[in-house]
Amino acid sequence: MTNPLTEQFSAPLTFNWTLSYRCNFTCSHCYSREEQCDELSTAELKLIVDRLAEHQVPFINFGGGEPLIREDIFVLSDYARQQGLNVSMNSNGWLLDRTAAERIKASGFRSVGISIDSAEARLHDDFRNRPGSFERAVNALDELSAVGVRSTMSAVISRINYQHFHELLDLAREHKVSQVYLHNFKCSGRGFKNRQELDLSPQEWKDFYLEALQVKEETKDLLISFDDPVIASLPGYAEKSLVKGSSCGKLSLHLRPNGDITPCGFIPLVVGNILHDDFEEIWYNSPVLNKMRNKEAKGKCQGCGAYEDCLGGCTARAFATTGDLSEPDPHCWK
């Protein structure tokens, strides 16, 4: 009854949707803080929802910028729910008080992710350049839990936290988080500028993943997730993901505030506009998307035994550092 995937899907499963690049924070690792883009009206955003529903995209995830900065976010999420879409969001938590949490609940969000970079308040606040942000983020988790919305925690792994991820997991438990995402460091936007200071060396990435995967296996009370395709090259790695390599352009796409589509939030290549272009044409025929789906091994990936599973690692990172989608991921330790 179940088959391996042999063919491309008819549409992405998820659209990661940046409604606005505006944010109340100025984080050191942010990929989008330097971006500027026109924003659409509520009516136009609703038209986008219609498009996504028409193409049977099941999930949208609001990100940013800070999604709660858009005052019409709940008008939009209510509308998306009515159209049968499943809605979630990632927030820094600053604006997520009880009233917002109740509104989130009423709007039927499937889950809300709160970004927390360190279990140590001072470090998190420093990193996010906003005193008090740790407290507000943790409070947001408690408010979500109080109203019965599933919460997740997102941490971008960097020098400030890679040796302390156990504390992040404990913090998640304390605040009834159901899933922790340990995101790979993307080297885009500010993350690129600050990468000397924040990024780990390939060997450190390897050691981190070996340990974190072990912890994941032993942890039963909390889901731990990674989004780094390069871990598929680790010996004995047996997780089954829905696709090999980066999922961007295969399972997900990203929407910019003006409706432009990019493969993911970290690859600034516009492949079309959801309001003005034919979506099927983009999805099936975009040269950029097809290049990402059919990468060719380059450099050290040529002849690498892991290529079949790893597909050169994170395409966004390769592109940010080399300008070529098919070059090996700079985090690769091989």
Give the contacts of 259 (CB within 8 A, at least 6 positions apart). Answer: 40, 44, 48, 273, 274, 275, 276
Single out the residue of 10, 82, 214, 302 in contact with other proteins (rule: CB under 8 A).
Answer: 10
C-beta of 229: minimal distance to ligand SF4 in Å? 8
Would you call the peptide bond into 65 cis, given omega within 30 degrees of 0 as the criterion?
yes
Q: What sign for the dihedral angle of Cα 93, 95, 98, 102?
A: negative
What, of ligand SF4, other proteins, none, does residue 6 touch, CB below 5 to 8 Å by kind? other proteins
Give whichever of 124 and 293 is closer to ligand SF4, judged by the CB atom: 293
Query: End-to-end CA distance of the chain, in Å?
Result: 38
Q: CA 124 to CA 130: how far, in whole Å? A: 9
Q: How far is the CB of 250 from other proteins (least distance, A)?
A: 12
> Residue 313 CB: number of other CB atoms within 10 A?
28
The interface region with other proteins, picked from 51-59, 123-131, 166-174, 180-188 by CB under 8 A, is 51-59
Q: Is 237 in the site for other proteins (CB under 8 A)?
A: no
Nearer Cβ to ligand SF4, position 51 or 334?
A: 334
The one among 63, 257, 272, 312 contacting ligand SF4 by CB under 6 A: 312
Nearest approach, Cβ of 3 to other proteins (angstroms)? 5
Nearer to other proteins, 58 or 299 (CB): 58
Q: Give the DSSP letter string of 55-87.
A: TT--EEEEESS-GGGSTTHHHHHHHHHHTT-EE
Site for ligand SF4 in 222-241 (CB under 6 A): 230, 233
Whose structure tokens read 């042999």? 6
CB of 135 to other proteins, least distance (A): 31
- Residue from 42, 86, 258, 321 binding other proteins (CB under 8 A): 86
Among 24, 58, 69, 136, binds other proteins (CB under 8 A): 58
Shortest Cβ 155–ligand SF4 spacing (Å): 23
Q: How far is CA 163 from CA 76, 202, 205, 208, in A?
A: 39, 15, 11, 8
Pairing of strands 151-156, 59-63: unpaired
User: Site for ligand SF4 (CB under 6 A): which residue of 104, 172, 261, 306?
Assistant: 306
Q: Are 145 and 175 in contact (CB under 8 A)?
A: yes
Q: How many residues bind other proteins (CB under 8 A)?
A: 15
**CA dist 315 to 28, 268, 288, 296, Å?**
22, 12, 11, 12
Give the number of other CB atoms < 10 A from CB of residue 323. 8
Q: Which of 43, 44, 51 is nearest to 15 (CA)?
A: 51
The piece of 15-23, 143-151, 203-211, 307-315 that touches ligand SF4 (CB under 6 A) is 307-315
| Binding flag, residue 6, other proteins (CB under 8 A) | yes
**CA–CA separation, 14 and 250 (whole Å):** 10
Chain residues that interact with other proteins, rule: CB under 8 A: 1-3, 5-7, 9-10, 13, 56, 58-59, 86, 240, 242
Binding site for ligand SF4 (CB under 6 A): 230, 233, 300-301, 304, 306-307, 310, 312-313, 328-329, 332, 334
